[in-house]
């Protein structure tokens, strides 16, 4: 498949003593990988100041200490999903401001508000024990604070992905364990100018994009002191989508293996690039689509939260498959037709099949069916996810919306899931950024494709969006 053509369609649908540990909320024992990560950060001008646990400010009641995973949680791969949010200093009118005092003030605000938020989002402060439940033991989230040499604007003028990795609490493809480890990893990076980059990696076993955004905005609202928008989540996904209890909790092969797609994995090095489609390009694409299909409008369908927003967890039913086979004419019209056909199958009756005692078998059957449809070595497979309109880029801790929000799974030197596209709102709220991971060979072709470049710019400075 001509990938630039396909991408356009996506819019439709140290040493060991280097750091000290603050133990005011519980001590953290660094792993060897963690120590090596600290060493690498220091080399890039990112200095780790503290590593600690931030716990809920009130203990979780005994009856809530075990959070049952639903069937759609069970089949999710226990990987971490990282994002970074950049905030400028935003203190105007005072040229004599003390940056150290500002950093100390914001540091305390972030930790205290996170502690308060975790009381309401208590599973986030626990640990993933097995495929049946999360132990809500109030151990807290893994929390790192750093100081970064240089100012934020210089850092964002031309983002260097190798340096951006140092802003993450865990580097991509880190060999940290998942079971018995934290579900939420946070790193707060303070720049010399007083700007801050907040990165958060959440376990996909507990959260999807919508849940990630809800938790982030709840934390931000608490920091901002916004009681009217305070979020009280309802963790009831396992009562809607019953867990699978047939597989042993210590089974050698977890249910999440059903979600692994070997043909989306590459044996060689991959490359991640960011493509910006501004509002004019989006309008041009919509007009092109409207002219190609027998429809007077292009409709965006949101399948991210088929049940109430505050009922948190993951939801696998939003995964859709649309194929374009050799017998098909590869045009905009045929591709949109396949996508619309896939969307039409996801209605209320389809979702009802996931519920109740029979729902677990149905979910597993659907995952097996999807695996069968993605098993041909004669086809190319592309996975596309959208976080547009999810509120992910709206988190305001009292300093305004982030000047840039970026996906953290970027790499140019190690194998990763490839043929993956993530769509996010642009920082100005008027465009879309597509984060694309391909093999290096395919990326070299894509980023030079004239058809794609007529609509998108490659790796523009976030300061000029």
Are 451 and 303 in contact by the 8 Å Cβ rule? The answer is: no
19 in a structural domain: no
The number of beta carbons lying within 10 Å of the beta carbon of residue 12 is 18
* Residue 235, pLDDT score: 80
Is the domain of 339 the same as that of 350? yes
What Cα–Cα distance (Å) separates residue 403 from each residue in 111, 221, 229, 416, 427? 22, 18, 22, 28, 6
Is the domain of 254 the same as that of 283? no
User: For the domain that residue 154 is a member of, what is the CATH number?
Assistant: 3.30.559.10
pLDDT in tens, 401-453: 999 999 987 766 555 567 888 999 998 888 999 999 888 889 999 999 999 99
* Residue 207, pLDDT score: 81
Listed residues 259, 290, 321: the one ending a domain: 259
Give the distance between the most distant pair of CA atoms in the chain: 69
Overall number of domains in the chain:
2
Residue 163 is part of which domain span? 32-259
pTM of structure: 0.81
446 in a structural domain: yes
Least confident of 46-55, 61-70, 370-379, 393-402: 370-379
Is the domain of 309 the same as that of 241? no
Residues 297, 289: Cα–Cα separation, whole Å: 9
Is the domain of 383 the same as that of 247? no
pLDDT in tens, 369-384: 776 666 666 677 777 8
Is the domain of 268 the same as that of 244? no
Are 85 and 462 in contact by the 8 Å Cβ rule? The answer is: no
106 in a structural domain: yes
15 in a structural domain: no
Instruction: Look at the block and give the residue holding tokens 């938790």.
Output: 215
> What is the pLDDT averaged over residues 185-191?
96
Listed residues 240, 259, 278: the one ending a domain: 259
* Residue 308, pLDDT score: 37
Least confident of 114-128, 174-188, 239-253, 329-343: 239-253
241 in a structural domain: yes
Residue 29 has pLDDT above 60, yes or no: no
pLDDT in tens, 83-128: 999 999 887 556 678 899 999 999 999 999 999 999 999 999 998 8
Is the dihedral angle over the CA atoms 324, 329, 330, 334 positive or is it negative?
negative
Is the domain of 375 the same as that of 437? yes
Is the domain of 427 the same as that of 443? yes
Is the domain of 361 the same as that of 266? yes
* Nearest by Cα to 111 from 143, 73, 72: 143
Residues 189, 44: Cα–Cα separation, whole Å: 13
Least confident of 98-102, 153-157, 174-178, 306-310: 306-310
Is the domain of 264 the same as that of 249? no
Reported confidence tier of residue 252, pLDDT bands at 50, 70, 90: very low
Q: What average pLDDT is seen over the chain?
A: 76
280-283 own/partner pairs: CB under 8 Å, 24+ apart? 281/431, 281/455, 281/456, 282/11, 282/431, 282/432
Residues 196, 355: Cα–Cα separation, whole Å: 43
294 in a structural domain: yes
Is the domain of 342 the same as that of 405? yes
* Nearest by Cα to 7 from 420, 338, 295, 407: 420
Provide the angle, in degrees to the nearest 10, between the axes of the packed helices 332-344 and 279-292.
90
Is the domain of 346 the same as that of 203? no
167 in a structural domain: yes
Listed residues 234, 259, 284: the one ending a domain: 259
Are 208 and 231 in contact by the 8 Å Cβ rule? The answer is: no
Percentage of the residues of the chain whose pLDDT score is greater than 70: 68
The number of beta carbons lying within 10 Å of the beta carbon of residue 31 is 14
Residues 405, 86: Cα–Cα separation, whole Å: 6
List beta partners, residue 84. Answer: 199, 406
Percentage of the residues of the chain whose pLDDT score is greater than 90: 36
Cα Rg of the chain, angstroms: 22
213 in a structural domain: yes
Residues 67, 134: Cα–Cα separation, whole Å: 5
Are 25 and 438 in contact by the 8 Å Cβ rule? The answer is: no
Reported confidence tier of residue 67, pLDDT bands at 50, 70, 90: confident
Are 235 and 160 in contact by the 8 Å Cβ rule? The answer is: no
Residues 215, 226: Cα–Cα separation, whole Å: 15
pLDDT in tens, 128-139: 887 778 899 999
Is the domain of 218 the same as that of 271? no
> What is the pLDDT averaged over residues 137-149?
95
């Amino acid at each position: 498949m001509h990938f630039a053509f396909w991408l356009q369609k996506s819019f439709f649908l140290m040493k060991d003593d280097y750091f000290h540990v603050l133990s005011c909320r519980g001590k953290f024992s660094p792993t060897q990988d963690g120590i090596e990560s600290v060493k690498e950060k220091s080399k890039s001008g990112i200095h780790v100041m503290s590593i600690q646990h931030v716990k809920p400010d009130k203990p979780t009641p005994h009856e809530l200490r075990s959070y049952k995973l639903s069937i759609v949680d069970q089949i999710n791969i226990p990987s971490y999903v990282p994002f970074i949010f950049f905030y400028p200093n935003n203190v105007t009118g005072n040229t004599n401001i003390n940056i150290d005092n500002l950093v100390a003030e914001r540091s305390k605000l972030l930790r205290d508000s996170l502690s308060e938020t975790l009381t309401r989002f208590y599973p986030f402060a626990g640990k993933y024990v097995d495929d049946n439940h999360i132990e809500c033991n109030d151990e807290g989230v893994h929390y790192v604070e750093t100081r970064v040499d240089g100012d934020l604007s210089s850092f964002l003028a031309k983002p260097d992905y190798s340096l951006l990795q140092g802003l993450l609490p865990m580097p991509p493809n880190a060999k940290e364990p998942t079971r018995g480890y934290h579900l939420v990893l946070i790193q707060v990076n303070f720049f010399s100018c007083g700007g801050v980059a907040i990165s958060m990696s959440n376990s996909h076993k507990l959260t999807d994009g919508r849940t990630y955004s809800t938790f982030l905005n709840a934390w931000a609202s608490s920091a901002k002191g916004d009681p009217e928008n305070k979020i009280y989540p309802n963790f009831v996904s396992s009562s809607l989508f019953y867990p699978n209890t047939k597989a042993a909790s210590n089974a050698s092969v977890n249910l999440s293996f059903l979600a692994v797609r070997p043909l989306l994995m590459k044996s060689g090095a991959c490359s991640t690039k960011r493509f910006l489609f501004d509002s004019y390009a989006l309008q041009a694409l919509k007009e092109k689509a409207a002219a190609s299909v027998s429809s007077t409008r292009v409709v965006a369908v949101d399948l991210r939260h088929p049940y109430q927003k505050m009922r948190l967890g993951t939801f696998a039913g939003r995964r859709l498959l649309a194929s374009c086979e050799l017998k098909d004419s590869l045009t905009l019209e045929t591709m949109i037709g396949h996508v619309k056909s896939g969307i039409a199958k996801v209605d209320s009756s389809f979702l009802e099949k996931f519920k109740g005692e029979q729902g677990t078998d149905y979910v597993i059957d659907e995952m097996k069916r999807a695996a069968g449809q993605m098993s041909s070595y004669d086809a190319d497979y592309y996975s596309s996810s959208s976080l547009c309109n999810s509120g992910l880029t709206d988190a305001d801790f009292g300093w305004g919306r982030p000047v840039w929000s970026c996906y953290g799974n970027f790499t140019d030197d190690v194998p990763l899931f490839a043929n993956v596209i993530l769509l996010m709102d642009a920082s100005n709220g008027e465009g879309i950024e597509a984060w694309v991971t391909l093999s290096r060979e395919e990326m070299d072709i894509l980023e030079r494709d004239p058809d794609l470049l007529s609509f998108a710019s490659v790796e523009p400075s976030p300061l000029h969006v």
